[in-house]
């Protein structure tokens, strides 16, 4: 089959999904790779959910899990975004897509090289434009969010969650110990301070603020102590649960701009 200009995106969490969503709507063919048990928190707006559910839709675009190169191409032919379990992104060896985006958001480079594609883009800290990637896109909230760098790196990770209505660390749910996670609440539920949302083993995870559960890691996953497992939004607007965030849209816009600059031979 004839494939429109192809972009392979490493990762399919909420920020990667925003990138894939925007590129797909802009006319690119998109393939996304993931691990066998994605740990994304904002599952409602993460194409990675297709790994668990077979298909997953975000704002009118549908992703579908595939298990082989042949099945991946069939999904592309249906006008969907294929999601394939391929942590090493080995599918790129076969397809040689001209554009590759590392959207794993690991805060470090986990193996992406500038030679992996004609244009290689890295999101956030851990990459250096001109060395291991061609372009870096800023992911830190603030004045430079979504900015593209042809030289140098993005801002260092602060370790502090973005401020929402004056809350940062308080709104994030973290595992109190290692163990398997089970939920007492669902994404979209409203919770009060100290209300039990989940258990890791026999240890409860309680809400630190009043609000609406915007994200929860998939149930049954084995998590490590201190790992981010959920997110409570103090604004309480249900629309924010099922829609791509402002931060993610800014980053996606930066990736599209970067690709178009390279495509048109500009800088």
Q: What is the CATH number of the domain that holds 25?
A: 3.40.50
The torsion angles phi and psi of 178, rounded to 5 degrees, stand at -75, 150
Position 262 scores a pLDDT of 93
**Can you give the three-state secondary structure of 187-217, one letter per residue?**
CCCEECCCCEEEEECCEEEECCCCEEEEEEC
How confident is the model over 87-100, as pLDDT tens digits? 999 999 999 999 99
Residues 97 and 197 grouped into a single domain: no
Successive 10-residue mean pLDDT values, the chain, 267 residues: 80 98 97 97 98 98 96 95 97 95 96 96 97 97 95 90 85 97 97 97 96 96 96 92 96 98 83
Q: Chain-centre distance of CA 57, in angstroms?
A: 14
Residues 15 and 140 grouped into a single domain: yes
Domain count, the chain: 2
Residues 141 and 174 grouped into a single domain: no
Q: Chain-centre distance of CA 40, in angstroms?
A: 7
Question: Does residue 164 sit within a domain?
Answer: no
Domain that holds residue 18: 6-156+246-263
3-state secondary structure of 233: strand
Residues 213 and 105 grouped into a single domain: no
Question: Do 54 and 64 form a contact (C-beta atoms < 8 A)?
Answer: yes
Residues 146 and 173 grouped into a single domain: no
Residues 15 and 145 grouped into a single domain: yes
3-state secondary structure of 226: coil
Position 158 scores a pLDDT of 81
Residues 32 and 146 grouped into a single domain: yes
Q: What is the CATH number of the domain that holds 196?
A: 2.40.50.100
Question: Does residue 163 sit within a domain?
Answer: no
Angle subtended at Cα 51 by Cα 47 and Cα 52, rounded to the nearest 5 degrees: 110
Q: Chain-centre distance of CA 67, in angstroms?
A: 20
Strands, sheet with 172-174, edge to edge from the N-terminal-most edge strand: 172-174, 228-233, 211-216, 190-191
Residues 98 and 31 grouped into a single domain: yes
Position 188 scores a pLDDT of 96
Position 2 scores a pLDDT of 47
DSSP state of 167: B
What pairs with residue 191 in β-bridges? 211
Residues 97 and 213 grouped into a single domain: no
Question: Do 220 and 196 form a contact (C-beta atoms < 8 A)?
Answer: no
pTM: 0.95
C-alpha 48/C-alpha 76 separation (Å) is 16
């Amino acid at each position: 089959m004839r494939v429109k200009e192809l972009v392979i995106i490493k990762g399919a969490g909420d920020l990667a999904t925003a990138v894939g969503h925007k590129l797909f709507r802009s006319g690119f063919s998109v393939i996304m790779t993931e691990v066998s048990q994605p740990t994304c928190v904002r599952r409602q707006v993460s194409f990675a959910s297709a790994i668990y559910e077979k298909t997953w839709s975000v704002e009118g675009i549908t992703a579908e899990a595939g298990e082989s190169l042949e099945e991946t191409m069939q999904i592309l032919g249906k006008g969907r975004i294929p999601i394939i379990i391929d942590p090493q992104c080995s599918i790129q060896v076969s397809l040689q897509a001209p554009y590759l985006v590392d959207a794993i958001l690991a805060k470090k480079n986990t193996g992406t090289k500038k030679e992996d594609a004609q244009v290689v883009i890295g999101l956030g800290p851990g990459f250096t434009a001109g060395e291991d990637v061609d372009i870096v896109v800023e992911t830190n909230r603030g004045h430079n969010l979504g900015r593209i760098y042809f030289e140098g790196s993005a801002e260092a990770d602060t370790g502090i969650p973005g401020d929402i209505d004056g809350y940062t660390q308080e709104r994030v749910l973290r595992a109190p110990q290692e163990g398997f996670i089970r939920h007492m609440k669902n994404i979209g539920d409203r919770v009060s301070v100290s209300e039990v949302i989940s258990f890791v083993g026999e240890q409860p995870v309680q809400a630190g603020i009043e609000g609406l559960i915007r994200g929860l890691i998939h149930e049954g996953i084995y998590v490590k102590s201190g790992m981010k497992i959920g997110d409570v939004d103090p604004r309480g607007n249900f629309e924010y649960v099922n829609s791509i965030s402002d931060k993610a849209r800014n980053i996606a816009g930066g990736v599209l701009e970067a690709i178009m600059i390279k495509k048109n031979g500009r800088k």
